[in-house]
Amino acid sequence: MLERIQNNDFSDIIKGRRSVRQYDESIKISKEELNEIIAEASLAPSSANMQPWRVIVVNTPEGKNKLRPLMRFNTLQNDTSSAMLIILGDTQSYLNVEEIYDAAVQQGKMPQDVRDKQVPQIMSMYPELPKEIKTEVVKIDASLFSMQLMLVARAHGYDTNPMAGFEQDQIVKAFDLDDERYVPVMVLSIGKAEVEGYETVRLNSEQITFWR
C-alpha cells in the first residue's frame, strides 16, 4: 500500500490531472501495481463502509476487442490505454457487512458493542431499499472511489480519463456479470499520456456556492 508512489506533490497531482485520451501503447501496468492502485482507491469513504465499488480490469487484447464496440466515441482510449477499468456498483454489497465489521472488531478498530448495534441496523435497512435507491447509493460511493483512483493513478505517474460514453445497458452482461446486481458507474482508462490532455476552465467558487 502506497509503496510505489512516485509523486507525492498534492498540488501537482490535482492541478496537473487532465483527461488523457491517447496513451503510450508501450506502457503496460503490471497486475500487482493495478491491484495496489485499486487498494489505495478503496480507502475512499462509502455509505456504512460497505465499499460497493467493483472493478472489471480489461487489459488483454481479447478484453479490449470485446469492449471496443461498447465504447461509442471513446475507442482511442480503449485501444491505447494500459487498461480500461469498468467501475461498477454492487447493489448487494450489504452481503459483506458482517465480514467488514467483524474484521474491524478483530483489528481493534471498532468496539464489539458498536458492531453489534450497527450490523443489525444496516441489515434491517439496506436489503429492503427500493432498487432505485440502492442504485443511487452505490453510484455515489463508486464515484468517490473513481475520483480517488484517478488521483492515486497520478501519484503512481499515470493518467486517466473518466468516461460515461459507453453502452450502459450492455457492458455488465458483456463481461459475464449479473446486470440485475451490478450497476455500471463509469469507465476509467489508465496509462501514460502519449498526447497530453488539454487544459479546461472551471467556474469560480462564487458561481457554484450558496451561502446562507
Ligand X SMILES: Cc1cc2nc3c(=O)[nH]c(=O)nc-3n(C[C@H](O)[C@H](O)[C@H](O)COP(=O)(O)O)c2cc1C
Point out which residues bind ligand X (CB under 6 A).
Answer: 18-19, 21, 74, 161-165, 186, 197, 200
Minimal distance, residue 77 CB to ligand X, in Å: 7
Q: Kindly tell me the sign of the dihedral angle through the C-alpha atoms of 100, 106, 110, 113.
A: positive
Q: How many residues does the chain have?
A: 212
Strand ranges of the sheet holding 83-90, from the earlier edge strand across to the other edge: 53-58, 83-90, 182-191, 159-163
Residue nearest to ligand X (CB): 165
Minimal distance, residue 29 CB to ligand X, in Å: 20
All cell numbers assigned to 63: 478484453
Closer CB to ligand X, residue 41 or residue 122?
A: 41
3-state class (DSSP) for residue 45:
coil
Closer CB to ligand X, residue 44 or residue 122?
A: 44
All cell numbers assigned to 6: 512516485
Minimal distance, residue 198 CB to ligand X, in Å: 7
Closer CB to ligand X, residue 99 or residue 199?
A: 199
Closer CB to ligand X, residue 51 or residue 161?
A: 161
How far is Cα 125 from Cα 21, in angstroms, rounded to an integer? 41
Closer CB to ligand X, residue 166 or residue 182?
A: 166
3-state class (DSSP) for residue 187:
strand
Minimal distance, residue 167 CB to ligand X, in Å: 12
Closer CB to ligand X, residue 18 or residue 192?
A: 18
How far is Cα 7 from Cα 121, in angstroms, rounded to an integer? 41
Q: Which residues contact 177 (CB under 8 A, 6 or more apart)?
A: 56, 88
Minimal distance, residue 142 CB to ligand X, in Å: 11
Q: Where are the alpha helices (DSSP H) in 42-90?
A: 61-67, 75-80
Minimal distance, residue 204 CB to ligand X, in Å: 16
